[in-house]
Amino acid sequence: MARSRIVDDADFEHPMDDFPVRPLEFKSGALNTDAVIWSQSHPRFSIFMNAFSVHVPYFERYLIRSMSMAKKHVRDAALLADISAIIGQEAHHAKNFIEFNRVMARRYPKIDALEMRARDDFAERAGTDTLKQLVGFTAGYETFTFLAGMIILANYEEWMSESEPTMKAMWVWHQVEEVEHGAVAFEVYKNLYGTDEWYRKYMILKALTHIALEVKTAYLHMCREEGLMNSLPSATTTVWFLVSTLSKMFWHCLPTFSRTYHPRHHPLATTRQNRIAVAWRRFTKAGGDPLKIDRAKMNEIIGVS
C-alpha cells in the first residue's frame, strides 16, 4: 500500500514520517509511592493515566505478537520498516510501565490482581486469535492510544505542567511515540484486509469497550483509595472526569469510521497543532535528554518565557 509523505510546512515533517526507536529507561520503579499521584496540575488526570497503564503494557505485548505475525505477510518495504519501529517503541513502553505498576501495587491493594488479569487475558488472546483478529484488534486499540496521545498533549498545561519530573517525562515520551506510530497498525490492516471495512469498524468499538471497562475499574479503585469518592461533590467531579475524558476519545474517533479515513489525515495529527510534540522531537533529535525535561526546560524548548 503506497503512502504519501505529508509535510505541513517546509520546516515541519509529519510526525509519522521515519519515526525512531528510543530505548529510554525512566527508572520509575525507584519512585516513592507518594509519586503515584504525579500531576499536581490535575491529580485526577494522573490517576486516570495510572489506571490506563495497569493494563496497557500487556496490550503492547499483544501488539508485538500481532505485528510480528503480520510482518511475515507484508511486502511493502516502507511499511515493514514502520512495523519494526512500532515493535521497538512498544517493547520499551511495556517495560517502563510494568516497572511503574510495581510502585502502584504498593499503594493500591487491587492493582496486582487487575494487572495479572490483564496479563493473562492478553496472553491468551495472543495465543488463540487468528491473524485477522490480532491485526484488527490491534488497529482498533491503536486508534485510541493514538487519539489519547494527541488529546493529552493538547491539554498539557492544564493536566501535567506541574508534575513529578520522571513521570511527566515518561508520559510525554509515551504520548509522542503513540502519535508517531499511530498509523502503523491501521496500515497493516488495510494492507492485509483492506476490503473489509465493517470488521475494522467493529474492532474500533470492541477496543473502546475494552479500554473503557479496564480504565473504569482501575480508576474507581484508585480514587476510592485516595478518598476521592467520600463526598458527593468529590465523587461527582471524579466520575465526570472519567466520563468526559473517555467521551473525548470517542468524539475524536468518529472520523475513523469514514471509508476514506487515514490516521495521517486526522485533524489532530498535524505537527503544527501541537507545539509540545514538535519541540520534544526536535529537542531529542538534537541530542537533548528527554529524562531531564522539567517545567523550566519544557518552557525553554517550546519558547515560553
Q: What does 112-126 look like in DSSP terms, one character per residue?
A: HHHHHHHHHHHHHHH
pLDDT for residue 123 is more than 80: yes
Q: How far apart are CA 201 and CA 89, in angstroms?
A: 25
pLDDT for residue 3 is more than 90: no
Give the confidence band of 5 by pLDDT, cuts at 50, 70, 90. Answer: very low
Contact 93, 58 (CB under 8 A): no
pLDDT for residue 65 is more than 60: yes
What pLDDT score was predicted for residue 79? 96
Compute CA 129 distance to the chain's CA centroid, rounded to the nearest angstrom.
23
Q: Which residue(s) pair with 7 in the sheet?
A: 13
What pLDDT score was predicted for residue 10? 41
What pLDDT score was predicted for residue 156? 87
Domain ranges for the chain, please list them: 39-301
What pLDDT score was predicted for residue 257? 93
Mean pLDDT of the chain: 89
Give tens-digit pLDDT for 40-50: 999 999 999 99
What pLDDT score was predicted for residue 269? 65
pLDDT for residue 186 is more than 70: yes
Give tens-digit pLDDT for 283-302: 888 888 888 777 777 777 77
What pLDDT score was predicted for residue 305? 46
Q: How far apart are CA 158 and CA 245, in angstroms?
A: 13
Give tens-digit pLDDT for 189-207: 999 999 999 999 999 999 9
What pLDDT score was predicted for residue 301? 77
pLDDT for residue 303 is more than 80: no
Q: How far apart are CA 83 and CA 180, in angstroms?
A: 12
Q: How far apart are CA 101 and CA 49, in angstroms?
A: 12
- Its CATH class, for the domain covering 39-301, is mainly alpha
